[in-house]
C-alpha cells in the first residue's frame, strides 16, 4: 500500500486546453502520510482506455487515485470503466443522490437526467461526499489495490482529499500490521535569474554520498525549482535537512524568491506592505500579466494602485506621456521607452514605485537588431531612481511573456529589498 499511482482523466489534458495540476496536489498530500506516487497516467475520455490504464495501475500500485470523468455528460465514463474492470455493477446510491440533490438545491437547481448519472456508484464502494460541488466520489478495494475516484475540478478534488481520502488512508495504515511508513518530507525553493546548469553548479557537493536526501531541479518559464526530499527517520531527517536547507539558502541566496508554496507576487506584496508602498504597472508585451499576478494575492488592494495596458505607440503617448519623438528615435522596444513608461506611470498615478515592460514576444515583429525575445523592463522609484534592464528570452510567445512578467516582478523584489536595507 505504500506506493500509489494517479490517473488524470480528460481528453482536454491530452489535446490541450487544460493542464493536470491535480496529480501534483495528490502526490504532496500522500507524501505527508508516507505514501509515494510512483506513476502518473493521463488518459482521454474513452471507457476502454480508462479501463486499460486502471487495470495496469492496480497491478503495480497499492493505491490508485483517479480524477475526472465523474460529471453528468456522455463523455464522463469513469464510473462505467471502474465497473467494467472490477465487475462491481453500477447502482444508484441513495446517499449519493441525496447529497447531490441537496447541493444543487443550494444553487436553486434540481437534478436533470444527466446529473442523475452522477449518483451511480459501483456496488461495494464507499461514497465520498462532495462538500464543494455536486459530483460524489467513491472508494473501493479491488484485488490488492485501493481505488479512489474523485472529480476533476481542482477545488472539489482538493477538499475531498483533505476531508475523506487522507484520513481514510491514514486509518487504514494504522490498522495494518505493516510498519507505518515515515512521512516523505520535501523542502522546496523557488529561484529566478539563474539557468538550471548554473543552479546545479552552485549546489555541487552539497549532499554527500549516502545522505538520505535527494536533490531535485526542475526548470520552467518562471525559474528553477530546487527540492530536497527525504523519508528518513524523524531524528535523522531534522538534523540533516536543517543543515542542507541552510546550505541551499547560502549558495543560492539572492536568487531564491520563495520557499514552499510561496510565489513571487506574494513575496513582492509582503515587501510592499512592510514598507507601506504602492505600485503601478505599465505593460505592453505582457498584456496585463504582471497586474493579473499582483492582484491574485488576497489583500493586494492595499498596495496595487493601477495598471495600464499600453500596447500601441499611441497608447504609450496618450496614457503615459511618452514623447512620440522618443519612440521614433529609439523604437517602442528600447531602454529609453521603458524608462519613460515607468516614469509616466509614476507621475500620472502618484504611486511610490512604477514598473514597465516593453518587448517583442513574437513570433513576428523582430528586426535584425531587435530579435524576438528582446524585452526591456523599467522601474521608477522617484527622483533619480529610474532604471531599465535589458533581457533576451527564448521560447514561444507565451513563454516569453511569462518570463518577462517574472523578470519584472523580480526586479521590483530586488529593488524593495535594497530599499529596505538602505
Structural fold of domain 277-421: Maf protein (3.90.950)
Domain ranges of the chain: 3-175, 185-259, 277-421
pLDDT at 400: 96
C-alpha cell at 373: 525575445
pLDDT at 18: 73
Say what the pTM is.
0.78
Whether the per-residue pLDDT at 269 is higher than 90: the answer is yes
Indicate the burial class of 288 (C-beta count within 10 angstroms; 0-12, 13-18, 19 or more).
middle
DSSP assignments along 4-50, one per residue: EEEEEE-THHHHSS----HHHHHHHHHHTTT-EEEEEEEE-S-HHHH
pLDDT at 19: 78
Average pLDDT over residues 258-265: 95
pLDDT at 170: 87
Whether the per-residue pLDDT at 45 is higher than 70: the answer is yes
How large a percentage of the chain has pLDDT more than 90?
75
Q: Can you say whether residue 40 is alpha, beta or left, with left for phi > 0 and alpha for psi between -120 and 50 degrees?
A: beta
Q: How many CB atoms lie within 10 A of CB 165?
A: 22
Mean pLDDT of the chain: 92
Structural fold of domain 3-175: Molybdenum Cofactor Biosythetic Enzyme; Chain A (3.40.980)
Whether the per-residue pLDDT at 66 is higher than 90: the answer is yes
Q: List the CATH code of the domain at 185-259.
A: 3.30.70.2860
Angle at 22 between CA 20 and CA 25, to 5 degrees: 130
Average pLDDT over residues 225-231: 89
Three-state SS at 184 = coil
Number of residues that this document lists for the chain? 422
pLDDT single digits (tens) 361-374:
999 999 989 999 99
CA distance 7 to 22: 10
The answer to whether domain 185-259 and domain 277-421 are alike in fold is no
- Residue 311 neighbours by CB under 8 Å, 6+ apart: 284, 287
Whether the per-residue pLDDT at 207 is higher than 60: the answer is yes
DSSP assignments along 68-118, one per residue: S--SSSTT--HHHHHHHHH---EEE-HHHHHHHHHHHHHTT----HHHHGG
Whether the per-residue pLDDT at 162 is higher than 60: the answer is yes
pLDDT at 113: 76
pLDDT single digits (tens) 314-332:
999 999 999 999 999 999 9
Average pLDDT over residues 75-96: 93
Average pLDDT over residues 119-128: 92
Amino acid at each position: 500500500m505504500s506506493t500509489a499511482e494517479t490517473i488524470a482523466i480528460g481528453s482536454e489534458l491530452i489535446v490541450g486546453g487544460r493542464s493536470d495540476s491535480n496529480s501534483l496536489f495528490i502526490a504532496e498530500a500522500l507524501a505527508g502520510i508516507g505514501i509515494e506516487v510512483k506513476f502518473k497516467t493521463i488518459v482521454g475520455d474513452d471507457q476502454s482506455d480508462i479501463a486499460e490504464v486502471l487495470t495496469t495501475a492496480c497491478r503495480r500500485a497499492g493505491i490508485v487515485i483517479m480524477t475526472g470523468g465523474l460529471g453528468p455528460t456522455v463523455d464522463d465514463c469513469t464510473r462505467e470503466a471502474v465497473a467494467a474492470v472490477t465487475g462491481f455493477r453500477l447502482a444508484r446510491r441513495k446517499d449519493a443522490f441525496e447529497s447531490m440533490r441537496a447541493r444543487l438545491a443550494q444553487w436553486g437547481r434540481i437534478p436533470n437526467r444527466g446529473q442523475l448519472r452522477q449518483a451511480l456508484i459501483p456496488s461495494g464502494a464507499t461514497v465520498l461526499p462532495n462538500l464543494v460541488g455536486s459530483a460524489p466520489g467513491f472508494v473501493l478495494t479491488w484485488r490488492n489495490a485501493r481505488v479512489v475516484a474523485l472529480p476533476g475540478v481542482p477545488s472539489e478534488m482538493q477538499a475531498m482529499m483533505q476531508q475523506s481520502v487522507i484520513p481514510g488512508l491514514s486509518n487504514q495504515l494504522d490498522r495494518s500490521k505493516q510498519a507505518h511508513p515515515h512521512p516523505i518530507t520535501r523542502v522546496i525553493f523557488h529561484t529566478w535569474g539563474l539557468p538550471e546548469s548554473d543552479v546545479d553548479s552552485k549546489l555541487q557537493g552539497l549532499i554527500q554520498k549516502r545522505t538520505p536526501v535527494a536533490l531535485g531541479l526542475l526548470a520552467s518559464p518562471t525559474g528553477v525549482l530546487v527540492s530536497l526530499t527525504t523519508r528518513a527517520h524523524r531524528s535523522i531527517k531534522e538534523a540533516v535537512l536543517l543543515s542542507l536547507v541552510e546550505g541551499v539558502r547560502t549558495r543560492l541566496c539572492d536568487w531564491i524568491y520563495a520557499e514552499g508554496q510561496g510565489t513571487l507576487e506574494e513575496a513582492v506584496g509582503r515587501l510592499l506592505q512592510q514598507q507601506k508602498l504602492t505600485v503601478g504597472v505599465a505593460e505592453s508585451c505582457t498584456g496585463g500579466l504582471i497586474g493579473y499576478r499582483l492582484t491574485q494575492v488576497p489583500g493586494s488592494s492595499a498596495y496595487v494602485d493601477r495598471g495600464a495596458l499600453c500596447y500601441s505607440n499611441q497608447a504609450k503617448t496618450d496614457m503615459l506621456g511618452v514623447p512620440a519623438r522618443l519612440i521614433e528615435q529609439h523604437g517602442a522596444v528600447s531602454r529609453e521607452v521603458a524608462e519613460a513608461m515607468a516614469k509616466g506611470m509614476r507621475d500620472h498615478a502618484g504611486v511610490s514605485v512604477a514598473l514597465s515592460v516593453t518587448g517583442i514576444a513574437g513570433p513576428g515583429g523582430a528586426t535584425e537588431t531587435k530579435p524576438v525575445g528582446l524585452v526591456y523592463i523599467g522601474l521608477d522609484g522617484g527622483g533619480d531612481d529610474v532604471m531599465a534592464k535589458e533581457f533576451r528570452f527564448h521560447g514561444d510567445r507565451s513563454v516569453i511573456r511569462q518570463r518577462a512578467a517574472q523578470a519584472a516582478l523580480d526586479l521590483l523584489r530586488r529593488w524593495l529589498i535594497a530599499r529596505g536595507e538602505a
